[in-house]
Amino acid sequence: MKKIAVFASGSGSNFQAIHDAVQSGKLRAEIKLLVCDKPGAFVTERARKAGVLVLEFIPKQFASKEEFETMLHEELQKNEVEYIVLAGYMRLIGSVLLENYGKRIINIHPSLLPAFPGMDAVGQAVAAGVKVTGVTIHFVDEGMDTGPIIAQRAVEIQEGDREDEVAQKIHEIEHEFYPETLDRLFEGKR
């Protein structure tokens, strides 16, 4: 069973989906730690309620990204974390974590990469008028949503769909697709 840390910055719906999948046995992993760069974000409440250790930090209180990533790396090692799972963590991963976790940092993104990387992917897709968008799960590298793709799932955009409706469709897919994909990856069935 893989030991994971979930990194998140917001409400934590993907954290909750991952936790629920672990609890039900659909995801054979153990969440050792939630890392949050926005103290007080709702995801921290979800984690505490679930009995998951929470590490909150304020990046601006560190001299550099290397300094806070070194602190994070020490905490990850202390908790024997094998994989970092990003679930709405709104910060690029830097050299310290990339060097120490290589192909063991996974992210989920609400588009069919390489289309619509970065912030507001759903808004970008709706504004572009595309008929299909989706969800991409990928390994993290030094770029913005540029790492090798692990899996993708399409989501149709119907005529007249508003951005919030498309976002809801994407969340519904993410909450099943992410834990399923993580389980396959951890079990060597990618």
Positions annotated as catalytic residues are 109
* Residue 92 labelled as part of a binding site: yes
What are the structure tokens assigned to 84, written together? 């970092």
d(Cα 24, Cα 42) in Å, to the nearest integer?
A: 22
Phi and psi torsions of 38, nearest 5° = -130, 85
What six digits make up the tokens of 41?
């974000």
Strands 54-56, 29-36: pairing is parallel
Residues 122 and 110 sit within 8 Å (Cβ to Cβ): yes
Tokens of 132: 């299909």
Q: Got the DSSP string for 113-136?
A: TTSS-STTHHHHHHHHT-SEEEEE
Q: Is 100 part of any known ligand binding site? A: no
Is 107 part of any known ligand binding site?
Answer: yes
- Residue of 125, 110, 129 whose CA lies nearest to 169: 110
Annotated binding residue at 91? yes
93 is in an annotated binding site: yes
Please give the Cα distance from 98 to 107 (Å, whole number). 13
Structure tokens of 135? 């969800």
- Residue 56 is encoded by which pair of tokens? 């909150």
> Which residues fall in the annotated binding site?
12-14, 65, 90-93, 107
Residues annotated in a binding site for (6R)-10-formyltetrahydrofolate: 65, 90-93, 107
